[in-house]
Amino acid sequence: MNENSYLKRNRQISQKSHLKNYRNLELPPSFLFVWIGVSSTLLAILGSSCFHSGISIVFIFGLLISNLLSLYGIYSSLRFLQEQQRQINEHLAQSHKLSALGEIVTGIAHEINNPLAIIYQEVQWIQHCLSSDNPDSINEIKDSIQEVSRQVQRCRDVTHKLLEFARKRKPVTQPANLNEIIEEMVKLVEFTTVTSSPEETIKIERFYDENLPLIALDVPLIKQVILNLLINAVQAMEGKGGVIKVTTRYDGKNSVEFSVIDTGCGIPPENIDKIFLPFFTTKAPGQGTGLGLSLSYTIVHSMGGTIEVESSIGKGSQFTVRLPLKTKG
Amino acid sequence: MNNVAIKVLVVDDELDFLETIVKRLERRGFLAIGVSSGRAALDYLESHSVDVVILDVRMPGIDGIDVLKEIVTKWPTTQVILLTGHGSIEAGMKGLELGAYDYVLKPAKLEDIIKKINQAYERKLILEKE
């Protein structure tokens, strides 16, 4: 069996039984060269010690050949193992993609099914009202139609966001002051977090780096990211109050970063890897589509930046966005 | 930046506010036009070129969000700054997601509005070059 057909066979095995069978991989045929090489070397050494110098030249030549065979065997084996590693990585990536796709499909189904269920119930109620002689039926029907209209709007919002997510707008950058942009969004959020109950108060503290240079940004897109992070921070502390810290920092070289840190409920470790997936949400039905963070992720990456999260259950979360001074694209 | 060339359409059903802001923008060198409904704004845009639209969110008839959707589809380089009297994160978020350049709460300082108009105009020029 040559190496290609060997790899093909291993690929077929692994496709059938997924990742588990990688533990039982067979050794490649090139290991035969290593075996021949090592055996020949041993024989050559043994031979040269048994015979005298006149004959040992033959054995030295044998030694050279056997070492070359060994080297070729080692080289081929390494290449083979590299190919195996590449295949394992491919399968892992594919496995992650399938898992993510499953989450997305579940999310879409959830977001669309809930309003559909309400619409279905309202339509049934309208049918019931139409067949009754109750004089109040007309008001009931009006209410139901209004509810149907609201739910249709909800579905439209979901599909709109989905399209927006798929559209991947190319950023249009212009020099902007990130501190000013963040402050505007903070004020907008502060305006709506005022509460009469002191224990539910959410305080926003600012720690702006005054030396932040102007940065090439797509202003409306970065505002969406900031607003999303602030809304999430507020929602993580809803009902119990707390503090949101907003910071900006210039690394003095080629990037700036901003963080939104809350003292909210935190993100469970099993959800950390999923939070940037589209439609992944832990919010109650109707409270969010689960597209905010995935959109933010897409936006930040489209501007050549990164977004990271650190979280601790019951203590809070920190989202950090890092942006290059000179934006790509 | 030379403000003379910037054409601003202000859309608001509160006539007192509309007249005041149009007058102030004209004094500052903008070519400002005021209309009092979403329908009137769309009709105006059908026959006139505008750089920046200052758009009230809550209006009778076609509201600001619906006008925004139509502007983004039909005149994608025209920049829209949403204006609202009620602070609503949802409206702000929705506006930005739909393609508005910015979102301003009333009462806003004229200087802030002018700054945003200039930035929005700059973005329009970048988009037109692409």
What does the DSSP assignment read for A8-43? HHHHHHHHHHGGGGGGGPPPPTTHHHHHHHHHHHHH
Asked whether residue A50 carries a pLDDT value surpassing 60, the answer given is no
Residue with the bigger pLDDT between B84 and A227: it is A227
50-79 of A, contacting B, C-beta below 8 A: none
How high does pLDDT run on average in chain A?
Answer: 79
Residue with the bigger pLDDT between A267 and A285: it is A267
Q: How far apart are CA A104 and CA A277, in angstroms?
A: 7
Task: Measure in Å the smallest separation between the Cα of A19 and chain B Cα atoms.
Answer: 41
Q: Give pLDDT tens digits for A116-173.
A: 888 988 898 898 888 888 878 888 899 899 889 888 888 887 777 777 666 666 888 9
Q: Provide the token pair at A112.
A: 């669309």
173-232 of A, contacting B, C-beta below 8 A: 173-174, 176, 187-189, 191-192, 219-220, 223-224, 227-228, 231
- Residues of A within 8 A of B98 (CB-CB) are 160
Mean pLDDT of A100-109: 71
Q: How far apart are CA A289 and CA A107, in angstroms?
A: 8
Q: Is B89 on the interface with A (CB under 8 A)?
A: yes
Q: Give pLDDT tens digits for A167-206.
A: 666 888 999 999 999 998 998 888 777 666 667 788 899 9
Query: Which amino acid would we find at residue A31?
Result: F
Q: Which of A292, A296, A298, A291 is nearest to A168 (CA)?
A: A298
Mean pLDDT of B47-57: 94
- Residues of A within 8 A of B92 (CB-CB) are 188, 227
Of B87, B119, B127, the CB nearest to A219: B119
Asked whether residue A93 carries a pLDDT value surpassing 90, the answer given is no
β-partners of residue A320 are A259, A308
Q: Provide the token pair at B109.
A: 């300082």
Task: Measure in Å the smallest separation between the Cα of A86 and chain B Cα atoms.
Answer: 40
Kindly identify which residue of chain A lies nearest to residue B122, measuring between CA atoms.
Answer: A174
User: Using an 8 Å Cβ cutoff, are B70 and B46 in contact?
Assistant: no
User: Using an 8 Å Cβ cutoff, are A201 and B63 in contact?
Assistant: no
pLDDT value of residue A221: 92
- Put simply, the answer to whether B102 touches A219 (Cβ < 8 Å) is yes
- Put simply, the answer to whether B87 touches A227 (Cβ < 8 Å) is no
Does domain B3-129 match CATH 3.40.50.920?
no
Residue with the bigger pLDDT between B2 and B85: it is B85
DSSP structure string for A102-156: HHHHHHHHHHHHHHHHHHHHHHHHHHHHHTS--TTHHHHHHHHHHHHHHHHHHHH
Mean pLDDT of A4-30: 46
- In this prediction, residue A100 has a pLDDT band, given cuts at 50, 70 and 90, of low
